[in-house]
Structure 1
Amino acid sequence: MRSDKKIIIAIDGFSSTGKSTVAKQLASKLGYIYVDTGAMYRMVALFALENGCIDTSNFDSKKLISLLDNVELSFVFNAELGFAEAYLNNKNVEKRIRTLEVSKYVSTVASISEIRVKLVDIQQEMGKNKGLVMDGRDIGTVVFPDAELKLFMNASASTRAQRRFDELIAKGEEVTYDEVFENVTSRDAQDTSRKDSPLVKAEHAIEINNSNLTRKQQFDKIYKLAVLAVEA
């Protein structure tokens, strides 16, 4: 593999398909920058919650849009953990944005065009020098349509819900499998049906269904694809 050549690797797919996990592994192996765009939308969703823009019965999108200039997103590398943590307005919110409470509102917030425009601009700026692995919902279709390698992650809804449930329980959250399954399927519906940048498989994207793959099997498969893309 020619280390002097840098590419952009775009990883899209449904929630809880392990996009972030494999993207982190891949970036580390290649010596690339990793960007979790899902975390960016989660940060905006948390901001909306904290500022009274959204709850279970109401979403004041106009108020949220008017406050967007007050939203500062950043990632700070934590050497002890080995990955970059999410910061909202200079405050570490890595744990808070991963809760089911925030997950309930991510797709709703992400459906707002003004929010997507703001975040896509930031994401495209990050990729100007290439050497980047980015995961999300519209990376290969909107953010980097010319990415040298595009992947689309998929798995059955029940498999994804079980993975997410196990993850939340391990973190000490009190949730039920049914709650998590409903969240996964409702996010699928919102992500694929929104008018602005819906979740679809990008042209030339390689689909990876990991319902029956171990993390190692998945990584080995994707790393081989990355090596081929770099050497092309």
Structure 2
Amino acid sequence: MQTPLTIAIDGPAASGKGTLARRLADYYHLPHLDTGLTYRAVAHMLIRNGWPLDDEAHAIEAARQVDLASLDKHALSAHEVGEAASRVAVIPELRRILVEKQRAFARNPAGAVLDGRDIGTVVCPDADVKLYVTASAEVRAERRLRDIESRGGRADFAEILADIVHRDERDMGRADSPLKPAADAHLLDTSEMSIEAAFLAAKAIVDDALAKRDKA
């Protein structure tokens, strides 16, 4: 019986990890979870109900209510929701609740691809393949700007860059599960890579891991 394949992908905002995770999940026919959406779901619930983002009691209750089967990527993609998610993600009890939900997803008998900030270090430390996807802050800001403009929106590059730098500092500096590459993660800098090039590089890493596992 084939052992399920688990792929853990971490990285900062707009590094390309989400796109890469979806491509890998599709190629290897694996369920995919963008764990960032779980934090966004909590933030969205707080905003929708008019609750302060620092209201830990309501945030923890919202985390308990998060249903991984009904995450609406479109509704949760708003910039203000992403910013709010980065703020509520520092609450330790909230993280523990969501991490357990994420681990349950990763135990899928069919395998799984998860992307986020602490997948290889906390959620799936025993994942078969760990990738840490990054890019320069300037490149990530440019990507975010293009994405906003492609959807008919308008934004200022300098403001986006400042926001990305600020989020990086908050995600990397939090005491609980900070953003950092796992010790055994493969680093993939996509600053000068196309989506296709990044996918092929990641695929080569996964295929190599599968080949070694088959020989074991």
Compute the TM-score of the two structures, normalised by the length of structure 2: 0.91
- Residue aligning to 2:12: 14
For 2:198 and 2:171, locate their aligned partners in 1 and report how far apart those are by CA, in whole Å: 24
**Which of 136, 143, 151 is residue 156 of structure 1 equivalent to?**
136
The aligned length equals: 211
> 1:142 is aligned with what amino acid?
V
> 1:28 is aligned with what amino acid?
D
| More strand by percentage | 1
Instruction: Return closer, same or farther for 1:60/1:130 CA change in 2, 3 Å cut-off.
Output: same
For 2:57 and 2:4, locate their aligned partners in 1 and report how far apart those are by CA, in whole Å: 40
Matched, 1:183 2:181: no
Instruction: Return closer, same or farther for 1:96/1:224 CA change in 2, 3 Å cut-off.
Output: same
Is the Cα–Cα contact under 8 Å of residues 99 and 168 in structure 1 kept in the other structure? no
- Residue aligning to 1:72: 66
Q: What RMSD in Å do the two structures reach over aligned CA positions?
A: 1.7
Instruction: Give 4+ residue runs of structure 1 displaced > 6 Å after superposition.
Output: none
**Which of 72, 75, 96 is residue 96 of structure 1 equivalent to?**
75
For 1:67 and 1:155, locate their aligned partners in 2 and report how far apart those are by CA, in whole Å: 32
Tell me by how many angstroms 1:66 deviates: 4.3
Tell me by how many angstroms 1:43 deviates: 1.1
Identity percentage of aligned residues: 34
> 1:30 is aligned with what amino acid?
Y
For 1:105 and 1:61, locate their aligned partners in 2 and report how far apart those are by CA, in whole Å: 13
Instruction: Return closer, same or farther for 1:22/1:169 CA change in 2, 3 Å cut-off.
Output: same
For 1:179 and 1:229, locate their aligned partners in 2 and report how far apart those are by CA, in whole Å: 40
Task: Give secondary structure in 2 for the equivalent of 1:75.
Answer: helix
Matched, 1:124 2:103: yes
Is the Cα–Cα contact under 8 Å of residues 107 and 190 in structure 1 kept in the other structure? yes
> 2:99 is aligned with what amino acid?
V
Task: Give secondary structure in 2 for the equivalent of 1:150.
Answer: strand
For 1:6 and 1:144, locate their aligned partners in 2 and report how far apart those are by CA, in whole Å: 13
Tell me by how many angstroms 1:98 deviates: 1.1
Is the Cα–Cα contact under 8 Å of residues 7 and 114 in structure 2 kept in the other structure? yes
- Residue aligning to 1:61: 56
Instruction: Return closer, same or farther for 1:130/1:112 CA change in 2, 3 Å cut-off.
Output: farther
Is the Cα–Cα contact under 8 Å of residues 10 and 147 in structure 1 kept in the other structure? yes
Matched, 1:142 2:122: yes
Is the Cα–Cα contact under 8 Å of residues 6 and 230 in structure 1 kept in the other structure? no
Compute the TM-score of the two structures, normalised by the length of structure 1: 0.85
Runs of 5+ consecutive residues of structure 2 not aligned to the other structure? none
